[in-house]
Amino acid sequence: MIKFSLSSHHNKIRFILYVVLCLTLFVVSVNIVFSIVLNNIISDASRIIAGTNSFSFRARFVYFNVFKGFSIVGVKLTRGAQPLLVSKNIDIGLDVLSLLKRKALIKNISFGPTRVDMSRVSDLAELIAEVLPKMDKSIGFFPTTYFKAIDLYFGDIVRSDIQGYLSCVKGSLLITRGQFLLKKVSIPAFNDADFLKGSSFYKPFDLVFDVESDGGGFKISRLEFSNPSLKFTGNGHIADLGKDPSMDFEMNFMNIILDDFPSLNNESLQSRGVIDAVFKAFGTFGDLKTLLSLKVSNANFTFFDSLSIDSVSGSAVASRDHIVGQDFNLTVNGMPFSSDFAIYQADNPHVKLELSSASPKGAALPLIKGAVMPPAFVLDLSADWVDSGLSGDIRSKLRYSSKDAVNTLDVELKKFRLGYYENLFFNAGDIIVNLNVQSSEVNDKTKASNNGLSFEHVFSTIRRQKDGFILDGLKGICYGGTLEGQINFTPVDGRIAVNGEAHLRDVDLDEFFRRSPEVQRVLSGKLAGDLRFDTSKSDIFKGQAFVEHGVVEQNPLLNAVSDFLGVPSLKKIAFDDLSMFFSGGRGEYAAQVKLQSPDVIGVLDGKVTNYEKLDGYLSTSLSTKLLDESKQFRKILIYIKHDEPSVIFAFKISSYLNSPRVLWLKNEFKEKLQNLLPERNKRSLQRQVNSMVENMKTE
């Protein structure tokens, strides 16, 4: 009895195993048969696609699973040599009951890692429009289809996941509900920087997408991405599919809060403010244009605790390869500016920036009725973003008025670098500084002057201060000598004020004139000087300069004295020391110049007004030996038997610097000669000397 029971149990097991084996063989056979059929279908699809305007489709193989559907492995869709879509695998689940009715209804579809070239979306749409009418009508979608894509790449910029359900209502309305997860957004030009990392953009979005067929196209009535922090909405229309397809689409990105971006809020940068954006795509698929408009409201940025940009407002437009911003208003460390900019995509992002200070409302140009005052400060930057810094060229203008003159300080930085290493810094291969003085009176060119300097290998750190910022530790090379100093930029009464100090040592004046052929050589030697300046004060400049063991020549003032006295040697003087002390601004400068050589000692005290007009007093002590060159003065000195080593002359100076007029102070000269006359017959000699001086004809 026991043996019978065991035998019966074994028979049941054998039967079950037999059934399982048969079912397995059946399933395997079905899988193999359907896999063969599907591979043939894929081959037919490849031929159909190959016949459509240079498209090609390839898949490594297809295998069928009766329980899951089928999988296409190694999918690649190209047009010409350019890949449009590349996917590791596409898994498609079918409705089993539909297969019994000789139909293949897709119930779910899942994409493995897939890359889509977003710049060729128009090509994909064109292909779909051409291929759909040619597809077998027995293949379709289940009323509600589940879709999923893991690691969906949009070019080299975006990586994301997407999943949800797609439903067809009344045969024409397609409704999609799902979830979208942005994994990474990288910009190759910025070293694949991910500016959205850690922000609300990387939180899951609920996806709503409603589209309705509309004759030969589709109407996108609702496209919405939303999460607890962000909400983006869009709509549009796709027309003329199958003929000349075109698109008109708009997406609104509202209330993007800069505070939520960790990449914009770290040790080196703090950001506040709101950005609104509108994305538009329009045109035919063959010539699809995209446009991104940005609006910035009350944004604030602080860089390295040195540069504070506040109250930023304006709008920008971005297309495929550039961003253009216009009519931006902002303050830089408290100073008001307006700005336009452009960023172009190249090997490295290229930045163009035009920045100008905002003039006070109602400000007018001095002495020009109705003329609006130009910006006090203008900056024009053209640079590339390389290794987390800007490299390029800068041109800037600083304007300030002084009585009836307008002063323009032009500064050009060549091969500059703005970056960060422990501190925000800049350096430049060359800096050219040029001061242009022009009368503010209309058509008045008589008071114009132009002077320039060049500096090399300039370096400075940039530090923020309570108001404005400072260029600290400024160092460079100036015509073989050295430059050290600092410059402060601060707002004063709504305008930019610049103050600071500069120190020059061992500047080779011969090198200066060699590199400035447009400037007449008047001085040689080694120069050292110190300068303090403040454009907010009446005395803008205060300084001193010293030249040792040099030569002064072709100086208009000395030339005039030389011609007056008839002493040619005064036109070129080799001196031991030359010093100058000066102060002033706003069109007026006071200066004292001292020159000392073996044969000439001169002291000039004067005032320059309107930058070109000189009024002053010149006292010169000329050696008796040097006066031998003057026939008439030699005659006087011989007559009075002069035996002193030198003679002092005094002159009053007036007129313009380049053409001075010297007035000999005869009475002072006669008084000094009287002191040299012998007591015997002094009155007679004095009358004779006075007569000779009065009747003298200067050479």
**From 27-41, 146-160, 611-625, the region with the lowest mean pLDDT:** 27-41
SS3 121: helix
> Residue type at 332?
V
Looking at residue 504, the DSSP 8-state letter turns out to be E
What is the average per-residue pLDDT within 116-134? Answer: 66
Confidence of residue 539 (pLDDT cuts 50, 70, 90): confident
Whether 611 contacts 587, CB under 8 Å:
yes
Token reading at 244 = 């000349």
In sequence order, which residues have a C-beta less than 8 Å from that of residue 596 and are 6 or more positions away? Answer: 575, 576, 577, 578
Q: What is the pLDDT of residues 128-147, one digit of tens each?
A: 666 666 655 556 677 888 88
| pLDDT value at 660 more than 70 | yes
Residue 349: per-residue pLDDT: 81
What is the average pLDDT score of the chain? Answer: 78
Provide the 10 A C-beta neighbour count for residue 241: 22
| pLDDT value at 365 more than 50 | no
Distances (CA, A) of 429 to 351, 412, 458: 19, 11, 7
Whether 211 contacts 220, CB under 8 Å:
yes
For β-strands 55-65 and 69-79, DSSP reports them as: antiparallel
Provide the 10 A C-beta neighbour count for residue 679: 7
Confidence of residue 166 (pLDDT cuts 50, 70, 90): confident
What whole-number percentage of the chain has pLDDT above 90?
Answer: 13
Confidence of residue 366 (pLDDT cuts 50, 70, 90): very low
What is the average per-residue pLDDT within 417-430? Answer: 82
Highest mean pLDDT pick, 156-160, 251-255, 681-685: 251-255
**From 288-292, 429-433, 527-531, the region with the lowest mean pLDDT:** 288-292
Cα–chain center distance at 175: 45
What is the residue whose two structure tokens read 């000066």?
A: 582
Cα(267)–Cα(422) distance, integer angstroms:
11
Whether 507 contacts 479, CB under 8 Å:
yes
Q: What is the pLDDT of residues 10-26, one digit of tens each?
A: 677 777 777 777 776 76
Cα(154)–Cα(185) distance, integer angstroms:
10
Sign of CA dihedral 154, 115, 151, 213: positive
Confidence of residue 676 (pLDDT cuts 50, 70, 90): low
Q: What is the pLDDT of residues 439-492, one digit of tens each?
A: 655 555 544 555 678 888 889 988 877 777 788 899 999 999 999 999 988 777
- Of the candidates 315, 369, 310, 371, the residue with the CA atom closest to the CA atom of residue 337: 310
| pLDDT value at 94 more than 60 | yes
Q: What is the pLDDT of residues 599-623, one digit of tens each?
A: 999 999 988 776 567 888 888 888 8
